[in-house]
Structure 1
Amino acid sequence: MIAQTTVTVHDPTLRDGQHAVRHQLDAGQIHTYAAAVDAAGVPVVEVGHGNRLGASSLQVGRSRLSDDEMLATAREALTHSRLATLMLPGWATTADLRNAVRHGVDVVRVAAHCTEASVTERHLGVIRELGAEAQGVLLMSHMASPGELAEESALMVGYGALAVCIFDSAGHYLPGDLTAFTAPVDVPVAFHGHNNLGMAVANSVAAVEAGAHTIDACARGCGAGVGNTQLEVLVAVLERYGYRTGIDLRRLADAADLAERTLMPSPPTIDSTSLVSGLTGVFSGIKRPVLAAAESQGVHPWDLFVELGQRRVIAGQEDLIPDAARNLAVQGGGR
């Protein structure tokens, strides 16, 4: 048994979980779940469009509610938990940030691809000026070396980030990959796992053992693609290891049951597409365009994911998928 240590749990069910319902959560769903996890003592609750602040659009999907409506609804329900949101430069503007803070957001995470932290400088500075806690996020972190992650994390800290969150966006890591997890910076480090290889809880524990202060997790694992670290399981496992989260596990289990009944069509499962996306390090959130392109060109989705992995395709580069499928078809990569 390890010595008692406190871990902060950050719950993005009402943001990342929006992917599972095409960003269509309504005010009643948001308020009810937020109130349930607030009562359970979850420290931080992240809310917004699945693709982040300001992302509601024809390109990635319009949300049922505006950012302002989602944040105001959650803020009303949260009497103890801190309210967080996530933004990506290029989607959100400084005006969006000001609106978010005006609606009571306590924590704003600014995300960038793992080698492009420089794009976060302006927004991290604005968040600090507004009085909210600024955090940096490095997406698709498996695509950078530990040294590169250290350099990018240091940039974010220099811009004003009070914490840096490492996202395993493709669910590619194994626990042994996280042994040097917190080496990069002197601010708190967080980990956000995806469950493509069924390792999200184990990876999260490995991150904590390596020194991570905060772990992201969603009710029933609901999230983009195959889903995220399963919140109620994570808290139970951390408790078994002797870590303290300050969360009432029984109430959290009730909140997870509520989420399954009211927020999602069904809990996420690891299908063959999710599995190969984790193996190849490709974000499984692009599953739909991959399946459509594979069907159109008569190639196997597994082979198309392998091709995309070799091309190091990331979210936002969906326009490359049809070309990759056509190349496979020409090469004789049919079903």
Structure 2
Amino acid sequence: MADGVALVDVTLRDGGYVNKHSWTVAQARRVVRACAAAGVPLVEAGYLRPARHADDGGALPSASCPPQYLEILGEEAAAGPDGGAGLVVMAHARDVSPAVLAGLARFGVRVVRMPVSPSGVRTLAPYAEAVHGAGMAFSVNLIRVSELAEPDVMSAARAAEELSADVFYLADSNGSMFPDDVARLALRVRETVGLTLGFHSHDGISMGFANALAAMQHGFRWIDASLCGMGKGGGNLALELITTYLHSRAMGNFSVEPLVDAATAVLAPWKGDHILARCESIVGGMLDLNLESLASIRSRGSGTLFTMLDEARAAS
């Protein structure tokens, strides 16, 4: 965790909306390995849909999370430095039973997240009990919060607290929120419950990063992001952006280079060939470098800029 902030990589699940969950196991392993090496503590493997294992578990593993896929990613995550990363799985109540969720612990899954509307939170009680009984954390993810009336959000928060949820997420599913919206809801939720709060942003109006900052400033401790912001709609908060920010501000010890390497190696078919340049611009901006300085540094090799990020933090 970074200064009390737990980053959750959602590339394989939310990014799957972009490529129709066509990640190969090798690509998924590369994403998990990079996150573990970078110090990102949690990596979401995908959606758990046991009924689809036989049909597409081999070709589209992140769409259903078959056992062999979870086992491989669990081993990859655990192999990282400092204890590695933990796996996260997303599951809709319609797709799973409580007993199935309890069985995820043997694959190294640390967190189970369940998306829900306000009226459905209390129906998750048996799922939360099963997850907790297996030693995993349980997260209630309230979806499409921009469409909800404030009293409904507070009602959902209270219901999540009654379940002893470990995290209560607000998901800006439509990518339509502004920082003041996030701040207003955060203050109200914190007045209502004592739960750990999480925020899942989308970047439809280019507010993903600003909303994440507002969320952290107002007490949210779990933040979702994906490599290059790959995700549905306008995309997600970019993982390389939030890790660079936290690292450069001495709010977390992240290594950005593994994320950049994985993004350039895995995401080019969907995100184009400008990934490295974009990542270098992010680091250059955080270090307050002008274009001439940035060009000079780039001429020494792509790794030089990322090394400077560590040096700048050490000198601060």
Same fold (TM > 0.5): yes
2:30 to 29, 32, 43: 32
Q: What is the letter of the counterpart of residue 54 of structure 1?
A: R
The equivalent residue for 1:146 is 150
Residue type of the alignment partner of 1:108 = V
Match of 1:9 in 2: 7
Q: 1:226 aligns with which of 234, 238, 246?
A: 234
Aligned to 1:45: 43
Point out the more displaced range, 94-103 or 122-131. 94-103
Could you tell me which runs of 5 or more consecutive residues in structure 2 were left unpaired when the two chains were aligned: 79-83, 273-316
CA distance in 2, matches of 1:109, 1:53: 10
Residue 299 of structure 2 is matched in structure 1 by: none
Give how far 1:239 is off: 4.1
Counterpart for residue 270 of structure 2: 265
* Structure 1 residue corresponding to 2:261, chosen from 229, 254, 262: 254
From 36, 61, 64, the counterpart of 2:60: 64
1:40 is displaced (CA, Å) by 0.8
User: Are the aligned partners of 2:6 and 2:223 in contact in 1 as well (CA < 8 Å)?
Assistant: yes
- Cα distance 1:196–1:114, how it changes in 2: closer, same or farther (>3 A)? farther
Q: For 2:111 and 2:262, locate their aligned partners in 1 and report how far apart those are by CA, in whole Å.
A: 22
Match of 1:107 in 2: 111
In 1, are the aligned partners of 2:119 and 2:156 still within 8 Å (CA)?
yes
Residues 102, 133 of structure 2: 8 Å contact kept:
no
Superposed CA offset, 1:239-267 (max 9, x none): 45x36133212333333323423xx5226
Report the 3-state secondary structure (helix = DSSP H, G, I; strand = E; otherwise coil) of the residue aligned with 2:96: coil
Residue 247 of structure 1 aligns with an amino acid whose one-letter code is F
Q: Secondary structure at the match of 1:126?
A: helix
**Per-residue deviation, 1:115:** 4.0
- Count of matched residue pairs: 257
User: Structure 1 runs of 4+ off > 6 angstroms?
Assistant: none
Unpaired runs of at least 5, structure 1: 268-335
Q: 1:145, CA displacement in angstroms? A: 2.6
Deviation, structure 1 residue 10: 0.7
Deviations 1:283-317 (A, max 9, x none): xxxxxxxxxxxxxxxxxxxxxxxxxxxxxxxxxxx
The answer on whether the counterparts of 2:89 and 2:113 sit within 8 Å (CA) in structure 1 is yes
Q: Which SS does the other structure have where 1:179 is aligned?
A: helix
**Residue among 167, 171, 176 paired with 2:171:** 167
Label 1:67 to 1:157 Cα distance change in 2 as closer, same or farther (>3 A): farther
Q: CA deviation at 1:67?
A: 2.5
Which residue pairs with 2:284 in the alignment? none
Contact 2:200/2:225, CA 8 A, preserved across alignment: yes
Partner of 1:122: 126
8 A Cα contact 2:212 2:223, kept in partner: yes
Identify which of 205, 210, 218 aligns with 1:202: 210
- TM-score of the superposition, structure 1-length normalised? 0.71
- RMSD over aligned CA atoms reads 2.4
State the alpha-carbon separation in 1 of the partners of residues 142 and 250 from structure 2: 25
Amino acid at match of 1:93: S
Same amino acid, percent of matched pairs: 25
TM-score, normalised via structure 2 length: 0.75
Counterparts in 2 of 1:245 and 1:145: CA distance versus 1, 3 Å: farther
**Greater fraction of residues in helix:** 2
